[in-house]
Amino acid sequence: MDFLNYQNGRLLADKIPISELASQYGTPLYVYSAPYIIKQFHAYEQALANRKHLVCYAVKANSNLSVLSLLAKLGAGFDIVSQGELERALKAGADPKKIVFSGVAKTTIEIERALAVGIKCFNVESEAELYRINAIAERIGKIAAISLRINPDVDAKTHPYISTGLRENKFGISYQLAEEVYYKAQSLANIKIRGIDCHIGSQLTELSPFLDATDRILVLLDKLKSNNINIEHIDLGGGLGVCYNDEQPPSPSSLVKQLLSKLDNYPNIEILFEPGRSLVANAGLLITKVEYTKHQDDNHFAIVDAGMNDLIRPALYKAWMRVLPEKEPQVTDETYSYNVVGPICESSDVLAFQRELSVKQDDLLVICSAGAYGFSMASNYNSHPRPAEVMLIDDKEHQIIRKRETMDDLWQGEIVL
């Protein structure tokens, strides 16, 4: 996270003190860097400059309207997985013709709404879904643009919970069945075949799974072409990893360069990518306050006001996320190997295990790389209000982009019998 740095013993985000943000907005607090998101998006755009392309941000990574609006103004498309995400993207100013709709359980209402606004494409994940889309399109007098999401049975070599490209995963249509399903799609009067889609997982740190999946997709494309099914775009998904600790994932430019080299013989095909994590993960951080320190035998706890309800990744995936103290460590500081734990009544409510820290009550800690799958997976478990979110506009200006929930917000919509 290159916008975090220590100056005069205190941690800054660009030139803005972390302590200033915590004092003004309270904790826990999510903070995002607009310049970082812009830089990451431009990395994809520049790498794809010589090809017809569309970079569709995966809304599930971080769905705040300001994040979506920022990307929409940059010309991004959007990859959505629900009507809620569709409505968010539209509210943020997205062009519906740049929206692709993924997800395994699209409802009738969701399909109707997507057809009504005129999205670019449905990424179809089962034969049953294909028939449902066709029937709805026929009923309302529309032609539905589709691609089939192909499950290439490629091991993404990532956490099993975020692997999506193996045969046993619920996502997509088996590579072995894909050709047959395309022929069925071609016979449907209210379906227009546009593309092929493939997304094999998240937090990928090697190029080989991307390249293997692309090879399989191109074999399928050639078979379809020989049978008069012409593909207009290939959607190569997202999933490019980021550095949380010491990972060395390829850059967007390296990824694109390698993949485009395989597509030299397909110059007229539009290329789609669906990055999420690689655009926003290292744009975000979570500021939390130490409520207590607790020492018993050889166990040391920094008990903070952020919990697994605010940031579930460590509990759900055993994700490692860097923890930085707001006060710059000094060589003379007395440190302990702390477990950084939250207020939730679950033993799994641990944000970080065994971190060498020198902290005391009321100190601030920063959980790094929290811009993706942080707030978007937050909940009100244990009846905790969700945090505020702030955007760093530049190295001096910051703005609230979501107000902290109030206690009244917790029971909004509930009824006392």
123: left (phi over 0), alpha (psi -120 to 50) or beta: beta
> 388 with 403: CB under 8 angstroms?
yes
Phi, psi angles (nearest 5°) of residue 44: -70, -45
Q: Residues for the chain: how many in total?
A: 417
Of these residues, 56, 198, 243, 345, which one is catalytic? Answer: 345
Q: Output 393-398 pairs: Cβ under 8 A, ≥24 positions apart.
A: 393/34, 394/14, 394/34, 394/35, 395/14, 395/15, 395/16, 395/35, 396/14, 396/15, 396/16, 398/16, 398/21, 398/31
Question: Would residue 56 show up in a list of annotated catalytic residues for this protein?
Answer: no
Between strands 191-197 and 233-235, the pairing is parallel
SS (H, E, C) the chain: CCCEEEECCEEEECCEEHHHHHHHHCCCEEEEEHHHHHHHHHHHHHHCCCCCEEEEEEHHHCCCHHHHHHHHHCCCEEEECCHHHHHHHHHCCCCHHHEEECCCCCCHHHHHHHHHHCCCEEEECCHHHHHHHHHHHHHHCCCEEEEEEEECCCCCCCCHHHECCCCCCCCCEEHHHHHHHHHHHHCCCCEEEEEEECCCECCECCCHHHHHHHHHHHHHHHHHHHCCCCCCEEECCCCECCCCCCCCCCCHHHHHHHHHHCCCCCCCCEEEECCCHHHHHHHEEEEEEEEEEEEECCEEEEEECCCCCCCCHHHHHCCCCCEEECECCCCCCCCEEEEEECCCCCCCCEEEEEEEECCCCCCEEEECCCCCCCHHHCCCHHHCCCCEEEEECCCCCEEEEECCCCHHHHCCCCCCC
Token code pair at residue 300: 């040391």
As annotated, the active-site residues are: 345
